[in-house]
A and B are shown apart, each in its own frame.
Chain A
Amino acid sequence: QQPVQSPQAVILREGEDAVINCSSSKALYSVHWYRQKHGEAPVFLMILLKGGEQKGHDKISASFNEKKQQSSLYLTASQLSYSGTYFCGIWLVGSQGNLIFGKGTKLSVKP
């Protein structure tokens, strides 16, 4: 049931773009994206409900493809502050609300 995130790690230069994918083998109700810096708690970025919507937050946006049961997180014009590990948490259809997290994608942004 754990979602599969790809890539596992990515290294960027400031200003470059990145895409992080999250795929589920089961029907999704919603996808939740978090960023976690070393030694800190995960910080909520955005939530997407089934319906194929796309959301944006500054230069970070995400989409939800209901047919493919996957979500993608788009980081454009990356900044040093974007460095960290990105997790997707999935809420499955029929679930009571506990999130199932992927193993994370480690993003490093270099100057």
Chain B
Amino acid sequence: DTGVSQNPRHKITKRGQNVTFRCDPISEHNRLYWYRQTLGQGPEFLTYFQNEAQLEKSRLLSDRFSAERPKGSFSTLEIQRTEQGDSAMYLCASSQQIAGTDTQYFGPGTRLTVL
């Protein structure tokens, strides 16, 4: 059973640099979510895709953030001109809607540190 995978697991970058993260969902799942989690807080929704369509973006997602899911498979999250406030764990989750429920399974996350 292959779960959600994310790469890289850790990323250290300097302020102002661009970074890109990748998420590979569970193969039969049509929905893919990105969340951000900081210390002592729950995951915070950023955006989600149904197949290749990006259906919702959080108002917290600034213009520096962009996400794609070409062909409805893996997804990438890019942060441009990183700021120290972007330091967090970025979590990806995938799901498949069955009978009105949507169980989201999380990947291990990518921990971003902006110096």
Identify the A interface with B (CB < 8 A). 2, 30, 32, 34, 40-44, 47, 49, 87, 89, 91, 96-104
CA of A47 to CA of B43 in the docked complex: distance in angstroms? 17
CA of A97 to CA of B102 in the docked complex: distance in angstroms? 7
| Chain B contacts for A2, CB-based, 8 A | 42
Identify the B interface with A (CB < 8 A). 31, 33, 40-45, 48, 55-56, 58, 91, 95, 97, 100-109
CA of A65 to CA of B48 in the docked complex: distance in angstroms? 28
> Would you call the interface of chain B mostly helix, strand, loop, or mixed?
strand
CA of A30 to CA of B31 in the docked complex: distance in angstroms? 17
In the complex, the chain A residue whose C-beta lies closest to that of B92 is A41
CA of A42 to CA of B92 in the docked complex: distance in angstroms? 11
The answer to whether A103 touches B102 (Cβ under 8 A) is no
The answer to whether B108 touches A40 (Cβ under 8 A) is yes
| Chain B contacts for A101, CB-based, 8 A | 42-44
The answer to whether B108 touches A41 (Cβ under 8 A) is yes
Apart from A44-B106, A87-B42, A91-B102, list 15 A-B contacts with CB within 8 A: A30-B101, A41-B109, A42-B106, A43-B106, A49-B101, A89-B42, A96-B48, A97-B48, A97-B102, A98-B45, A98-B48, A98-B56, A103-B40, A103-B42, A104-B42
CA of A48 to CA of B105 in the docked complex: distance in angstroms? 16
A101 to nearest B CB, angstroms? 3
| Chain B contacts for A99, CB-based, 8 A | 33, 43, 45, 104
- Partner of B45 from the list A41, A47, A100, A104 (CB cut-off 8 Å) is A100
B89 to nearest A CB, angstroms? 9
